[in-house]
Amino acid sequence: MFATLKRAIRGETRDSGEENVTSRSMIVATLHQLKTEHELLSVRVPGCANTASSAILGVKEDQGCYYLDELNQRTTHKAFLSKRKAIINCRLQGMEVRIPCRLIKAGSDGGIALYKISIPNRIIRIQRREYFRLRLNAGLVVPVSVPHLEGRCAAGQAFDLSAGGVGAFIDTRDVPSRGQILTGVSIALPQSPAFKANIEVRFARADEVHHSLRIGGR
């Protein structure tokens, strides 16, 4: 599987290295994953000594924004309102992720502060996992077929691939549970025979914007 993927897709071979991600769909997918997996975010405001924690409450791709929960440090909260920019550092599926923040506006819900943040044009991912990760070239379509998803066959295409996992949009309304095993998943790489693998679901959610299931597995 690793050799087939490596031949078909351009990837990064270093165990650790920065990758600038500018694909909007991949940036939005990352934000959705951070929200779905309830990842803890470390937020630092320039000029502020204290680092605060937060989490993503929701992503509104059609509005070009997402929402952050209240920062747990009052000094950082005040600095964020003043500077209106910050850097988020977090981990996602074995990678470090760095996200620049631009505050659109701050509000509150039930007395708890929340922040409307512009979806950035670029994020940085730092490879620190054992698997060779492969970046899909622009315009490259990698069909994915799931023969047994809640008793039905479903198909879609990958947006992220590594030797240890896959992220894909699947055309279905069925949402599998985390930890569920999808058997016989077929991935068709350009100029290579399709291969099959059993995929353990790590996250899955209905994507209203793309009218499909956003799924990640290993």
Does residue 180 share a domain with residue 87? no
Can you give the CATH number for the domain in which 159 is found?
2.40.10.220
Residues 143 and 92 reside in one and the same domain: no
Q: Which of 92, 97, 65, 61 is nearest to 216 (CA)?
A: 92
Give 3-state DSSP helix, strand, coil % of the chain, rounded to 5.
15, 50, 35
For 32, half-sphere exposure in the C-beta direction (CA atoms, 13 angstrom radius) is 23
Encoding tokens for residue 38? 């309830």
Rounded Cα–Cα distance for residues 179 and 134 (Å):
23
Judgement on whether residues 22 and 123 belong to the same structural domain of the protein: yes
Pair (100, 24) in one structural domain: yes
Task: Tell me, rounded to whole angstroms, the distance of Cα 213 from its chain centroid.
Answer: 14
Q: Position of tokens 């509000």?
A: 107
Residue 45: beta bridge partners? none
Which domain covers residue 136, as residue numbers? 2-10+131-217
By the 8 A CB rule, do 58 and 35 touch? yes
For residue 2, what pLDDT is reported? Answer: 44
Which stretches of the chain drop beneath a pLDDT of 50?
A: 1-4, 8-15, 129
Q: E strand or H helix at 156, and its extent?
A: strand 152-162
Please report the pLDDT score of residue 67 as a whole number: 96
Q: Residue 70 maps to which CATH number? A: 2.30.110.10
> What local confidence, expressed as pLDDT, does residue 149 receive?
85
**Residue 191: exposed, middle, or buried by beta-carbon count in 10 A (0-12, 13-18, 19+)?**
exposed
Whether residue 112 is found in the same domain as residue 94: yes
Helix (H) or strand (E) holding 63: none
Tell me: do 62 and 118 sit in the same domain: yes
Give yes or no: residues 55 and 67 share one domain: yes
Structural domains counted in the chain:
2
Residue 200 contacts residue 179 (beta carbons within 8 Å): yes
